[in-house]
């Protein structure tokens, strides 16, 4: 298996060992997230470009391993598994079809298609929202050689970067890594062309499963789920859809939709998980080479002023 997936070419990825996912179903971390539809937090907190009326604005997903360059005794490898889902809802989440409320396009009349057309995005639960599937994991070794092992970005021509042919390659993604949903572990099924098309236009990353790995022993020294911070208890900005979902670690959460975007004054129709399901930051200690170090994993989603919109997941030693 290619451990440092970000330094490899997507065409040469080997099959992901399902053992990577084994511990994901047993995690018990809890904590919280929100959108350009903001949630009433200060500007340092959750904002986003996920607005059904502004899908031409694509989000950079950035990943950083700041535990140290080659030779730093505190250095860890950082393995990340993104979970992709439908980013938006419409005005009726119970009619088994997703409608783009801006142009009335219906890309997902889920229940009128043969079973197997949307195996992950509908069939598994019978709900049109609140379905998630893991993308292929990737690892930042933190060595800084090449630079993409320390700072890594995923961007494509699509709203959500699940189609490899559309990904943008550069210094921070030389191998053209994308959110590959074509070979997930059981019980998930490989994404169908219809699911890839749906998520490329209307998807986003809802949360991550992360693993911190000792580079010498290859042992996982810490792991957990993480999602952006969002105060869904603020009823001015968020409304419970009434859809309750089961997450990969066995916990349950309600899905919320945005009611007011600070940009437009109208609903962005963005979906988020209820607050405090997973943390938005977490600290841990690990003993590496006989010495104990402290680390922090955090997820930030924001508009970088006039710069590119960025969501950042990072690990650093304290």
- Could you tell me if 37 and 170 are in contact, meaning their C-beta atoms sit under 8 angstroms apart? no
Distances (CA, A) of 99 to 93, 95, 103, 285: 10, 10, 8, 46
Q: Tell me the two tokens of residue 316.
A: 């650093």
pLDDT by residue (tens digit) across 215-242? Answer: 999 999 999 999 988 888 888 889 999 9
Q: For residue 60, what pLDDT is reported?
A: 84
The whole-angstrom separation of Cα 41 and Cα 39 is 6
Q: For residue 191, what pLDDT is reported?
A: 97
What is the maximal distance between C-alpha atoms in the chain? Answer: 60
What is the torsion angle, in degrees rounded to the nearest 10, for the CA atoms of residue 168, residue 37, residue 276 and residue 201?
-40
User: Helix, strand or coil for residue 38?
Assistant: coil
- Quick one: which of 240, 239, 304 has its CA closest to 267? 239
The whole-angstrom separation of Cα 286 and Cα 213 is 10
Can you tell me which residue has the tokens 């109208």? 266
Q: For residue 134, what pLDDT is reported?
A: 97
Question: How deeply is 122 buried, as exposed, middle or buried, from its count of CB atoms within 10 A (0-12, 13-18, 19+)?
Answer: buried
pLDDT by residue (tens digit) across 21-60? Answer: 344 544 433 222 223 444 444 444 567 778 888 776 677 8
Query: Looking at residues 276-290, what average pLDDT do you find?
Result: 95
pLDDT by residue (tens digit) across 154-182? Answer: 999 898 999 999 999 999 999 999 999 99
Residue ranges of the domains in the chain? 5-23+58-228+279-317
H helices then E strands: how many in the chain? 2, 13
- pLDDT-based confidence at 302, cuts 50/70/90? low
pLDDT by residue (tens digit) across 120-148? Answer: 999 999 999 999 999 999 999 998 888 88
The whole-angstrom separation of Cα 57 and Cα 117 is 28
């Amino acid at each position: 298996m290619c451990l440092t997936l970000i330094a490899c070419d997507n065409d040469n990825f080997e099959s992901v060992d399902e053992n990577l996912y084994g511990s994901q179903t047993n995690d018990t971390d809890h904590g919280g997230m929100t959108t350009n539809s903001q949630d009433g937090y200060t500007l340092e907190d959750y904002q986003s470009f996920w607005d059904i009326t502004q899908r031409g604005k694509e989000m950079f997903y950035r990943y950083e391993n700041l535990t140290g360059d080659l030779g730093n005794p505190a250095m860890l490898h950082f393995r990340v598994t993104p979970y992709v889902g439908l980013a938006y809802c419409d005005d009726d989440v119970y009619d088994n079809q997703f409608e783009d409320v801006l142009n009335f396009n219906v890309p997902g009349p889920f229940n009128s298609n043969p079973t197997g057309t949307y195996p992950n995005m509908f069939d598994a639960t019978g709900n049109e929202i609140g379905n998630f599937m893991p993308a292929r994991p990737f690892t930042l070794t933190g060595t800084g050689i090449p630079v993409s092992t320390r700072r890594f970005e995923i961007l494509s021509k699509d709203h959500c970067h699940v189609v490899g042919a559309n990904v943008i390659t550069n210094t921070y993604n030389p191998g053209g890594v994308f959110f590959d949903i074509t070979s997930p572990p059981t019980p998930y099924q490989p994404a169908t062309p219809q699911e890839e098309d749906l998520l490329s236009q209307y998807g986003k990353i809802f949360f991550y499963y992360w693993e911190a790995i000792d580079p010498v022993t290859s042992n996982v020294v810490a792991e957990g789920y993480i999602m952006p911070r969002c105060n869904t208890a603020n009823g001015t900005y968020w409304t419970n859809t009434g859809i309750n979902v089961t997450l990969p670690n066995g916990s349950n959460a309600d899905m919320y939709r945005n009611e007011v975007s600070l940009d437009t004054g109208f609903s962005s129709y963005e979906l988020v998980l209820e607050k405090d399901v997973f943390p938005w930051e977490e600290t841990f200690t690990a003993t590496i080479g006989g010495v104990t170090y402290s680390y922090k994993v955090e997820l930030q989603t924001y508009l970088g002023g006039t710069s590119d919109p960025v969501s950042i997941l990072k690990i650093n030693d304290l």
